[in-house]
Amino acid sequence: MPTEILMPALSPTMEEGTLAKWLVKEGDTVASGDLLAEIETDKATMEFEAVDEGVVGKILVAEGSEGVKVNTPIAVLLEDGESADDIGAPSAPAAVPEPKAEAAPAADAPASVPAPSAPKASDGRRVFASPLARRIASQKGLDLSAIKGSGPHGRIIKADVENAQSAPAEKSTSAPAAAVAAAGPSPDTIAKMYEGRDYEEVKLDGMRKTIAARLTEAKQTVPHFYLRRDIKLDALLEFRGTLNAQLADRGVKLSVNDFIIKACALALQTVPDANAVWAGDKVLKLTPSDVAVAVAIEGGLFTPVLQDAHHKSLSALSAEMKDLASRARDRKLAPHEYQGGSFAISNLGMFGIDNFDAVINPPHGAILAVGAGVKKPIVGKDGELTAATVMSVTLSVDHRVIDGALGAQLLNAIVENLENPLAMLA
């Protein structure tokens, strides 16, 4: 029988997307792994692959369509011997309760039909889940009716159950527009305040809605505290100049930000108790230093993650960061490239900002806000007045994960690494 191709969940926060472009047309034969369409999520434009083979019998959603809900049929695939006449009315996406955990990409969903012994919700509605998902839920004592499925028609798959148990207390990011509206006066009330004044109304895209919802939630639910230090950069700048001169033939040019990434990664190894994230009813202590770095793009920002940053050389970190930043600006990052990490860096020094306080990106335990390096008068070791290039940093810390003394140890380790950069290569 004809197979419906459903709008996939291509990122954890995606509830709807824009079908930007079809890469196939009706009548085309496709195989598993062939590219079907380009879909804009709240974070990126991603290519959607076929998981089955057949002939594209009918395209149900035109390219350019916005606000297409996840699990909505977007096309129909025909098997050998079938024709477009066999296609009935598209089915509606299955109704499911609001999620208690982030959904996994729909590409992980199995193609088997839900078993007839599927459990039912308290209202009598049948809950569709794979046998493996039901077994894991039973072992962990989880209520399947309270989990949103990311498979076809809302079917619950293994990843959905695993995500639910790993973050049981995490609040849903659904209805971001409602969360934004709840933060102040209604949109109509605000519009009336500016009647008679010239203004342009800018429509919120998925990324801006998600940023607004997540950062509002972070400020309201994460108990921030702040630690500040000044860092003398003269030794680092001299060392950077020497390295860049030696690496010029290889086309490598290290930035101060590359040193900051390395310094933070090593500091997380020096103070391992601070290399942690909040997971609702527990704290997860990470072994590797996975450091996220905020990258500004048009209309929002990404925080791509450099995994195992403590093991990588400065030149490797520099090349990886340039690649991630470039693809972030083109919205071509895959979800695994901007998810995870325990620590983040936000650097506004290149914009002339002396210092600022950054908002923690959950579930990270901390974020370092980096200001500009500025020539300032300082008192030297022998009491003499001299000048130095000084950079101000602020460490925003989640008090649920890191206490004051531990946060101070982490920041001191970062400062020590940056003021003694040669030691970072030891």
Alpha-carbon distance 344 to 64, whole Å? 34
**Angle, vertex CA 361, rays to CA 356 and CA 366, nearest 5:** 65
Tell me the C-alpha to C-alpha distance, in Å, between residue 329 and each of 180, 326, 344, 362: 25, 5, 18, 22
Burial of 418 (0-12, 13-18, 19+ CB in 10 A): buried
Please state, in angstroms and rounded to a whole number, the distance separating the CA atoms of residues 146 and 153. Answer: 16
The burial of 224, by beta-carbon neighbours within 10 Å (0-12 exposed, 13-18 middle, 19 or more buried), is given as middle
On whether the CB atoms of residues 78 and 128 are closer than 8 A, the answer is: no
Amino acid at 95: A
Question: Nearest 5 degrees, angle CA 201-CA 206-CA 210?
Answer: 105
Which residues face 21 on adjacent strands? 38
CA distance 422 to 426: 7
Is residue 166 classed as helix, strand or coil in its secondary structure? helix
CA 215 to CA 219: how far, in whole Å?
A: 6
Whole-angstrom distance, CA of residue 161 vs CA of residue 130: 10
Q: Is 96 left (phi over 0), alpha (psi -120 to 50) or beta?
A: beta
Residues 418, 3: Cα–Cα separation, whole Å:
57
- Annotated catalytic residue: which of 153, 310, 311, 399? 399
- Is 399 catalytic? The answer is yes
CA nearest 293: which of 256, 268, 325? 325
Active site (catalytic) residues:
399
